[in-house]
Amino acid sequence: MAPSRNVLVIGGGAAGNALTILLRRSGVAVDLVEARQDWNATAGSGITLQGNALRVLRDLGVWEQISASGYGFGSVGITAPDGTVLHVQDDLRTGGDDLPATVGMQRPQLQQALIDAVRASGATVRLGTTATIVGQDDDGVTVRLSDGHQARYDLVVAADGLNSATRAAIGISDKPEPTGMAIWRVAAPRPRGVTRTDLAYGGPAYIAGYCPTSEDTLYAYVVEANRDRATIPPETYADEMVRLASAYGGHWPEITKTITDPAQVNYTWFDRMLVEGSWHRGRVVLIGDAAHCCPPTLAQGAAMSLEDALVLSELLTANSTWDDTLLNAYYERRIGRVRAVVEASVQLGQWQLDQVRDADVPGLMARTMSQLQERP
Ligand SMILES: Cc1cc2nc3c(=O)[nH]c(=O)nc-3n(C[C@H](O)[C@H](O)[C@H](O)COP(=O)(O)OP(=O)(O)OC[C@H]3O[C@@H](n4cnc5c(N)ncnc54)[C@H](O)[C@@H]3O)c2cc1C
């Protein structure tokens, strides 16, 4: 690979940060632009990271931080709405036997571990900055940054999330579509007895669940049919979540009494999108949620985004010619695996929306997750 190669990464979420770290390791010059001045360092409640995500995070060199600040576990409990445990299922170790099946984490802790690694990688980071593609040819892309800086890159990577402006700018018209569900999420203190994810199906919501994210914390969530956001004033968010969560037993009463601050409660619709055909136009290529997104029914969105970064960096650093053939190879290596995850994640939600009672939920989950044991 030519040592003078340079790449612009647009977006500093899991995908963009991971790609930056991996490319810098191979000596590629990387500029990372991130729209938010705070780099999303304090945003979000919790995240469930399964083995295949942990495997990439270990490759990135941040496993020590993840392991120290997260909460590892190896099973999921299925409960009745009253909290009675109906079934405990062992999670598959999709990242291999030397990693936990699952780690719950506070999102800011994950983001901080990646930010620290990007900073240490020597990439140039511009916060509060966006990028406009001015033009491109067979050799590269000319970009104007919102700070007035103009530069030329061998490759531009759109890691700017599910509403990617870069995706639209290169003529890919796919957009996220609502699946019909929405989720209320909050970070809360961890009751001592919560040592794994428990999911209650039924009751007033489709799913009520929680996931431990550290010795002291968890994140709790309730999934219901989506509603017009304009009809839910943000100052009522805590009341709305408490109204739904109050119907659940087990550890829920202890969790629910801590849900008091509406500013800490997040309300998000579930979306789906899968760009088909190819994930690039010329020298601009999509990774992560910019290329695909799905409801978190398998907790695989960030995992797929991290895997995209890993595969793209492997191809870019192993090949001296960065052309259509290489970027098509990236798409071909990713599409089957990502499609299986997106379709299964959407199906799991759709069965609930359609109130299908005899759906093979464990079978679909097991089939999909077992495919993820193989390296991407
Ligand atoms: C409710 C919910 C729960 C989820 N739970 C899980 C889970 O438990 N496990 C899991 O693996 N996945 C989960 N996911 C999915 C996961 O959050 C995403 O798949 C993942 O964050 C995608 O990472 P990304 O880097 O592609 O995009 P993002 O994290 O969205 O990052 C995009 C970045 O680009 C920046 N940006 C946007 N526009 C521009 C621009 N024009 N210029 C520069 N920067 C820009 C943004 O500020 C942001 O920092 C969940 C998703 C949802 C909605």
Q: Where are the alpha helices (DSSP H) in 246-282?
A: 252-256
Ligand 1 midpoint to CA 3 (Å): 30
307 lines ligand 1 (CB under 6 A): no
Which helix or strand (DSSP H or E) is residue 221 part of? strand 217-225
Average pLDDT over residues 192-218: 95
Burial environment of residue 171 by CB neighbours within 10 A (0 to 12, 13 to 18, 19 or more): exposed
The domains found in the chain, sorted by start residue, are 6-70+106-176+272-371 (3.50.50.60), 178-271 (3.30.9.30)
183 lines ligand 1 (CB under 6 A): yes
CA separation, residue 56 to residues 35, 305, 313, 372 (Å): 25, 10, 12, 12
| Res 43: pLDDT | 84
Do residues 8 and 151 make contact, with C-beta atoms less than 8 angstroms apart?
yes
In whole angstroms, give the CA distance from residue 174 to residue 254.
42
Q: Report the residue among 47, 48, 273, 274 best suited for mutation to probe ligand 1: largest number of ligand atoms under 8 A from its CB.
A: 47
In whole angstroms, give the CA distance from residue 163 to residue 13.
13
Ligand 1 midpoint to CA 159 (Å): 9
pLDDT beyond 70 at 177: yes
47 lines ligand 1 (CB under 6 A): yes
Question: Residue-wise over 117-135: b if at least 16 C-beta within 10 A, else e?
Answer: bbeebebebbeebbbebee
Average pLDDT over residues 172-197: 97
197 lines ligand 1 (CB under 6 A): no
Closest Cα partner for 290 from 157, 140, 145? 157
pLDDT beyond 80 at 374: yes
Average pLDDT value for the chain:
95
pLDDT beyond 90 at 211: yes
Cα radius of gyration (the chain): 21
| Res 1: pLDDT | 45
| Res 134: pLDDT | 95
Q: At what angle do helices 14-25 and 107-121 cross, to 10 degrees?
A: 30
Closest Cα partner for 129 from 203, 37, 212, 67? 37
172 lines ligand 1 (CB under 6 A): no
Average pLDDT over residues 61-68: 96
The pTM of the full predicted model, rounded to 2 decimals, is 0.96
User: How far from chain centre, in Å, is Cα 218?
Assistant: 18
Which ligand 1 atom minimizes the distance to the CA of 17? 25
| Res 42: pLDDT | 85
In whole angstroms, give the CA distance from residue 248 to residue 222.
10
List pLDDT tens digits, range 116-151.
999 999 999 999 999 999 999 988 999 999 999 999
pLDDT beyond 70 at 48: yes
Q: Identify the residue whose C-alpha is closest to ligand 1 atom 13.
A: 301
Closest Cα partner for 338 from 275, 268, 271? 275
List pLDDT tens digits, range 279-332.
999 999 999 999 999 999 999 999 999 999 999 999 999 999 999 999 999 999
Q: Where are the alpha helices (DSSP H) in the chain?
A: 14-25, 51-59, 63-69, 107-121, 165-169, 237-245, 252-256, 301-318, 324-353, 361-371
In whole angstroms, give the CA distance from residue 374 to residue 376.
6
How many distinct helices (H) and strands (E) make up the chain?
10, 20
In whole angstroms, give the CA distance from residue 132 to residue 340.
33
pLDDT band at 45 (very low <50, low <70, confident <90, very high): confident
In whole angstroms, give the CA distance from residue 27 to residue 327.
20
Paired with 331 in beta bridges are none
Ligand 1 midpoint to CA 191 (Å): 28
DSSP secondary structure of 63-125: HHHHHHHSEEE-EEEEE-TTS-EEEEEEPP-TT-TTS-SEEEEEHHHHHHHHHHHHHHHT-EE
Average pLDDT over residues 178-193: 97
**DSSP letter (8 states) at residue 194:** -
Average pLDDT over residues 18-26: 97
159 lines ligand 1 (CB under 6 A): yes
Ligand 1 midpoint to CA 225 (Å): 22
pLDDT band at 2 (very low <50, low <70, confident <90, very high): very low
